[in-house]
Amino acid sequence: MVDLSAAYEGVEGVANFPTEEALRNYRAMALERSVQQADFIGRRFSGAGSVAEACCGNGRLLIALADRMQRLQGFDLAASRIDFARQWVEAAGCKNVDVWRDDMLEPSRRPAPADLGICITGAFAYFGALSGEHERRAVASLGAMVRPGGGLLLELYQHPATIAHCLAEPDGRWQRWSELAAEDPFRFSLSAFAYDRQRGVLRHEKKFIARNGSVDEGRVEALRIYSPETLDGLLAPWFDQPEWYGDWAGNAFAPDSKHMIVSFRRRAD
Ligand SMILES: C[S@@+](CC[C@H](N)C(=O)[O-])C[C@H]1O[C@@H](n2cnc3c(N)ncnc32)[C@H](O)[C@@H]1O
């Protein structure tokens, strides 16, 4: 089984940012990449004053939203990412942002129910790739994060091209190299994919090559690939009124969309 804690721990360790400038540039790049998401949230959930984000990573979206909301809460399993987020929140002077380390599957501290719950960048799909029971626990965590009548925003990756490549191979496996942005402490990433058609689960093994030549490997992610019908059915005990989008510009979702972005309304208790 995939170890969720091994996938991201240490990614943003201080050793990867040898100078203040390297850290500044990385934060600036992460904020830049959050602008379109923050704008989408501002438009779609214009009345929301509080946000709770599950699997918030380095806190980039919370910081990007900080001047639009009164209260922002976020948690993530990776202690190193939460350390990074805390230092960033403090450096940015965001007194309304609170982040802590926690496990979505066994939360030790529940966020105060917010106007809007968020779980993006495909993170929700990790739990369905583990088992139906893990998935139901993740849905219950999302349900508890949002006040009745509030909103939920999920972003799931569909990987249509990767799945087509895997399905074209006799063993269902496919791999590719990518070069990363200049601000990233790593220069290259190697992704090896395997698609289990029966379970609808895409397994992704990642290897990163740093600019100094050192190699970071052993990070594995497995994602359940959802259809609108399966996702809607799964969330139905807690959420209704889904609206589907195919990108952060707000275009409609289509079967070949790379992203499935969906907003729900939290049902009354
Ligand atoms: C693809 S990253 C996305 C981070 C963030 N959502 C963003 O937009 O930058 C997925 C995150 O999910 C976190 N994660 C994985 N399993 C988790 C769990 N059980 N509970 C909380 N966070 C988890 C990882 O540590 C990682 O930071």
Q: What are the domain boundaries of the chain?
A: 14-158+227-266, 161-222
Is 118 near ligand 1, meaning CB less than 6 Å away? no
Spatial contact of 142 and 52, defined as CB atoms under 8 Å apart? no
Tokens (6 digits) for 142? 């999302």
Is 60 near ligand 1, meaning CB less than 6 Å away? yes
| Residues belonging to the chain | 269
Question: Cα(104) to centroid of ligand 1, in Å?
Answer: 9
Is 55 near ligand 1, meaning CB less than 6 Å away? yes
pLDDT tens-digit map of 24-80: 999 999 999 999 999 999 999 999 999 999 999 999 999 999 999 999 999 999 999
| pLDDT score recorded for residue 6 | 65
Question: Cα(102) to centroid of ligand 1, in Å?
Answer: 10
Beta-carbon count within 10 A of 240 CB:
12
Tokens (6 digits) for 179? 């070069």
Query: 1, 2, 3, 8: which to mutate for ligand 1, most atoms within 8 A of CB?
Result: 8
Give the ligand 1 atom nearest the CA of 4: 16
| pLDDT score recorded for residue 2 | 62
Global pTM value: 0.92
- Dihedral (Cα; 195, 153, 6, 104), 10-degree rounding: -120
Give the ligand 1 atom nearest the CA of 8: 25
pLDDT (average), residues 194-211: 94
φ/ψ of residue 70, rounded to 5: -80, -40
- Which of 126, 119, 7, 24 is closest to 73 using CA atoms? 119
- Taking the mean position of all CA atoms in its chain, how far away is CA 30? 13
Closest residue by Cα to atom 10, ligand 1, is 123
- Taking the mean position of all CA atoms in its chain, how far away is CA 237? 22
pLDDT (average), residues 122-148: 97
Helices 228-235, 132-145: crossing angle, 10 deg rounding:
60
φ/ψ of residue 80, rounded to 5: -65, -35
Closest residue by Cα to atom 15, ligand 1, is 4
- Domain 14-158+227-266 top-level CATH class: alpha beta
Cβ-in-10-Å burial (0-12, 13-18, 19+) of 111 comes to buried
Give the ligand 1 atom nearest the CA of 37: 8
